[in-house]
């Protein structure tokens, strides 16, 4: 006859109730500065979206608005705004995993510059491709589309991380 212990959380005296919260705070504390700053910018922007519900079309990347209305702020804001909780959550987790590893290899300053260049270049490439398709083929749809999120920069970081990896090739 063995005595069965209850599986109720209050019976696990050696495990604090908020242990997952402390693990999350440890993980965030271990993140390098630039990666933590990126996450903070995306999360604070999402908090602004959530609380004040601004019209996203004022902040998204729209090549026509950038080229013809000179709304160059969209190059930056489109990377920081997200389409919903899952979108910002997945982007932040990806940025945390990939950015943290990459920043430890290349340093904080280089990581910050890399992300800034990534935001600028992914937006410029998007605008340029949209304009070329319009100018050469009359395809206007991409010039009018609105896009947002950090995914282009995350893709750039993942390419850099895989090319700076220390594994055997």
Q: Give the pLDDT confidence score for residue 19 in this predicted structure.
A: 59
Q: Give the pLDDT confidence score for residue 76 in this predicted structure.
A: 96
Beta bridge partners of 61: 147
If phi > 0 it is left, if psi is from -120 to 50 it is alpha, else beta; for residue 11 that is alpha
- The pTM for the full model equals 0.79
CA distance linking residue 164 with residue 101, whole number of Å = 10
Q: Give the pLDDT confidence score for residue 18 in this predicted structure.
A: 55
Q: Which residue has the tokens 């390419």?
A: 159
CA distance linking residue 130 with residue 117, whole number of Å = 20
Q: Give the pLDDT confidence score for residue 60 in this predicted structure.
A: 96
Beta bridge partners of 48: none
Q: Give the pLDDT confidence score for residue 14 in this predicted structure.
A: 55
The rounded average pLDDT for each run of 10 residues, N- to C-terminus, in the chain (169 residues) is: 51 54 74 94 96 96 97 96 96 94 95 96 96 96 95 95 70
Q: Which residue has the tokens 């500065």?
A: 33
């Amino acid at each position: 006859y063995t005595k069965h212990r209850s599986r109720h959380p209050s019976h696990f005296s050696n495990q604090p109730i908020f242990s997952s919260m402390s693990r999350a705070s440890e993980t965030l504390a271990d993140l390098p500065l630039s990666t933590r700053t990126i996450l903070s910018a995306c999360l604070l922007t999402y908090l602004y979206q959530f609380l004040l519900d601004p019209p996203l079309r004022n902040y998204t990347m729209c090549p026509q608005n950038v080229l013809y209305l000179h709304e160059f702020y969209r190059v930056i804001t489109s990377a920081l705004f997200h389409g919903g909780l899952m979108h910002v959550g997945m982007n932040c987790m990806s940025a945390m995993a990939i950015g943290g590893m990459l920043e430890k290899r290349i340093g904080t300053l280089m990581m910050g510059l890399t992300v800034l260049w990534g935001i600028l270049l992914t937006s410029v490439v998007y605008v340029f491709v949209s304009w070329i398709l319009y100018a050469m083929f009359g395809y206007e749809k991409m010039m009018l589309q609105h896009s947002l999120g950090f995914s282009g920069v995350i893709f750039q970081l993942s390419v850099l991380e895989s090319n700076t990896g220390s594994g055997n090739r």
